[in-house]
Amino acid sequence: MATQTRGATADRPEQPTPKKKRTSPATFYRQVVAELRKVIWPTRKELVTYTTVALIFVLIMVGLVSGLDFLFSQGILKVFGSG
Which tens digit of pLDDT belongs to each residue from 13-70? Answer: 677 777 778 889 999 999 999 999 999 999 999 999 999 999 999 999 999 999 999 9
Question: 32, 39 in Cβ contact below 8 A?
Answer: no
- CA triple 38-40-46, angle to 5 deg: 165
Type of residue at 62: V
Per domain, the residue ranges of the chain are: 40-83
pTM: 0.54
The torsion angle over the Cα atoms of residues 43, 44, 46 and 52, rounded to 10 degrees, is 160
Type of residue at 32: V
